[in-house]
Amino acid sequence: MFIKDIQRGQYTNVCGIYKLYFDNDDRFYIGSTNDLQERLQAHTRAINKQKHFNIYFQRLCLKLGIENLKYEILAKCPQEYLLKMEQWFIDKLKPELNLAETVGRPPINRKRGYKMSEEAKQNISKARTIQKIDRSNYVHSEETLNKISQSLKGRVITEEWKQKMKEAKAKGGKYSKLTVEQVKEIKSLVRTKTDEEISQLFNCSRATINQIKNNKIWKEVWENV
């Protein structure tokens, strides 16, 4: 019988053992209650709200449709015999959807001892791998360059900043001036090395290498390579 067809007051205050199942699936759930009416309707409410305590039963109902869920009253008995009767049916029928094999015991950890397939491991590995973007050959669009240009207009370079740049040049830092011969060598290396590798060789920034490679700066040296 379908749970949706239960009539109002049909099983109110009736103690018993029940089974929840679908016609097109072998798995089922067994439970006990001192009010079959309330318990069966409580299952339906929890599933509709996707808050059922049994995640496996919840997923099965979502897959096959709550409207297709059926029930069977396995036995009616006094309240003091409910747990013993439920345990007897669990031992005899072995329901796959019950979280605990023993009534009143904590749920079984179904993930314990679970072996993941190699395909599943690879999928998880791919999902966790951070894709690093290689920006060594990245070129800004004209729109982006215009925005950068507009943002830099009116900027005042302080004397302190100028002094820091001079000191960096004197120490051979990334602001050091490249010679014509160095630029020629850089342009000969762009075909075989990355911007990062070249910038480390000549102690300058990747942005500088990228601009040289794309003929943004040192244009006059390009034809002499």
Taken in order of first residue, the domains within the chain and their CATH numbers are 3-107 (3.40.1440.10), 170-225 (no CATH)
Q: What is the pTM assigned to this prediction?
A: 0.48
The whole-number pLDDT of residue 175 equals 43
Q: Is 57 exposed, middle or buried (0-12, 13-18, 19+ CB in 10 A)?
A: buried
Cα–Cα distance for residue pair 130/146, rounded to 1 Å: 31
Could you tell me the CA-to-CA distances from 109 to 31, 51, 101, 114 in Å, in that order? 19, 19, 11, 10
Answer yes or no: are the C-beta atoms of 76 and 16 closer than 8 Å. Answer: yes
* Backbone phi, psi, residue 52, to 5°: -70, 140
The whole-number pLDDT of residue 22 equals 94
Residue-wise pLDDT for 110-147, tens only, equals 544 455 667 767 776 766 664 445 555 566 778 887 88
The whole-number pLDDT of residue 174 equals 46
Cα–Cα distance for residue pair 206/195, rounded to 1 Å: 6
Could you tell me the CA-to-CA distances from 172 to 53, 81, 110, 162 in Å, in that order? 67, 89, 63, 15
Cα–Cα distance for residue pair 76/34, rounded to 1 Å: 10
Q: Which residue has the higher pLDDT, 150 or 109?
A: 150
Residues 172-200: what's their mean pLDDT? 76
Could you tell me the CA-to-CA distances from 18 to 11, 90, 214 in Å, in that order? 12, 11, 76
Both tokens of 202, joined, read 């000549």
Query: 165 pLDDT exceeds 80?
Result: no
Confidence tier at 91 by pLDDT (50, 70, 90) = very high
Cα–Cα distance for residue pair 201/189, rounded to 1 Å: 11
Residue-wise pLDDT for 46-65, tens only, equals 999 988 888 899 999 999 99
Cα–Cα distance for residue pair 129/123, rounded to 1 Å: 10
> In sequence order, what DSSP letters do the residues of 65-94 get, joined into one string?
-GGG-EEEEEEE--GGGHHHHHHHHHHHH-
Cα–Cα distance for residue pair 177/152, rounded to 1 Å: 22
